[in-house]
Amino acid sequence: MEFLEKIYEALGEEGLKKARWQTRMGVLGIALQIVFVLLYVALWALTPLSQRVVEATGGNPWLYTLVFFLGQRIFNFPLDYFSRWVELRLGTNRQSFSGWLLDWLKQSAVSVALMTLLFGGAFAVMLAWPQAALLIFLVLVAAFAGLLYALQPLLLRLEFKADPLEDEALAARIRALFERAGVPFRGVYRLRAGEKTSRGNAAVISKVGGYKVVFTDTLLEALDPDALAFVVAHELGHVKHRDTQRGLFPFAALLYASLLVGYVLVSTPTLERFPFFYLGTQLAFVLGRLAMNHLVRTQEYAADRFAIQLVPDLEAFERSFLALSRQNFDDPDPPAWIETLLYDHPSIKHRYQALKRTLEEKKEGAA
């Protein structure tokens, strides 16, 4: 049986319908994000709201942007709840409304703080030093990208509780994988994601002096040790290729280009025109992310190639993605235009085909 047929069988008719529906909802979600940006900017730009907030904050760009982004989180509540509704329809949500709302409040606080820091800083620069703004933006963007990188472990702990993995045999096997890959090992942890979702995931995260592996408890329950080893090997591929660090530059470049578009759109900076600055940055960022998806998919293919060299077991890959498809309702073969434009990971079909080619080339080389 072909691997794609195995995926379809594992999902079943109902699961495949959910996977394809989830893909359509993903497209709709992006469209709704753009619509909400346009509506929120219109609310500020086409009514007296912006002028009144300028007066209420005394023209302070930091206070103005703080109010702007607090309002945005409230305005976007229906959009955020749409994501929860999708999870409820899929059956992957295990969280009560009160638990979800508490998480939403925590995420909102982090989002408002970060957005105020970036946009309040950018617009304060534009108001104080308009001629030198584009040069100062370089420093601001570099600092912001570095901050996001440093905050990644903290943001993960904010969402899920973590415990050291109790399975000593599995931990020892993962340590051996790290040693073979030449990556410093700093432990294996279990994320208690099952309290909130049935979805599974794994990651290798930077820690002082090395890297640690984190598995969701849902993934640990679904995969055998060989399949887990392949998942870890894939994540080690990202570490060896320094994908996270290397990804900071295109992300920072995209962020800078977005600020540049906002700067050009505003022309003469006044605080009342901040909504137009924000609109320009958001539209540019959305379009830029579509272009960045190609880069990220390239990194995923490279991490898969590293993994199959470290763990030359195509069946382990199959078992891992059979389980992940069931847990996450991933469409194994989405429409080509959706995968090209919107997916930051290759489809399961294309990843499997690429791995088969890698193994075949390896056999031919050995012969």
pLDDT tens by residue, the chain, 367 residues: 588 888 898 899 999 999 999 999 999 999 999 999 999 999 999 999 999 999 999 999 999 999 999 999 999 999 999 999 999 999 999 999 999 999 999 999 999 999 999 999 999 999 999 989 999 999 999 999 999 888 887 777 778 888 898 899 999 999 999 999 999 999 999 999 999 999 999 888 888 788 999 999 999 999 999 999 999 999 999 999 998 888 888 899 999 999 999 999 887 889 999 999 999 999 999 888 888 898 899 999 999 999 999 998 888 888 998 898 899 998 999 999 999 888 989 999 999 999 888 888 777 666 5
* Structure tokens belonging to residue 268: 């003469």
Nearest to 187 by CA among 217, 151, 167, 211: 211
CA distance between the termini of the chain: 27
Query: Cα separation of 262 and 187, whole Å?
Result: 44
**pLDDT computed for residue 157 by the predictor:** 78
**pLDDT computed for residue 244 by the predictor:** 83
CA–CA–CA angle 224, 229, 232 (5° rounding) = 125
* Structure tokens belonging to residue 190: 């279990």
137 burial via Cβ count (<10 Å: 0-12, 13-18, 19+) = buried
**pLDDT computed for residue 161 by the predictor:** 87
* CB distance 214 to 235 below 8 Å: no
313: three-class secondary structure by DSSP: coil
CA–CA–CA angle 350, 230, 362 (5° rounding) = 65
**pLDDT computed for residue 305 by the predictor:** 92
The dihedral built from the CA positions of residue 63, 108, 72 and 279, taken in this order, carries a sign that is positive
The residue whose two tokens read 């990651």 is 203
**pLDDT computed for residue 361 by the predictor:** 79
pLDDT cut 90: percent of the chain above it: 70
* CB distance 184 to 178 below 8 Å: yes
**pLDDT computed for residue 365 by the predictor:** 66
CB-side exposure of 183: number of CA atoms within 13 Å?
28
Q: Is the pTM for the entire model greater than 0.85? A: yes
* CB distance 194 to 201 below 8 Å: no
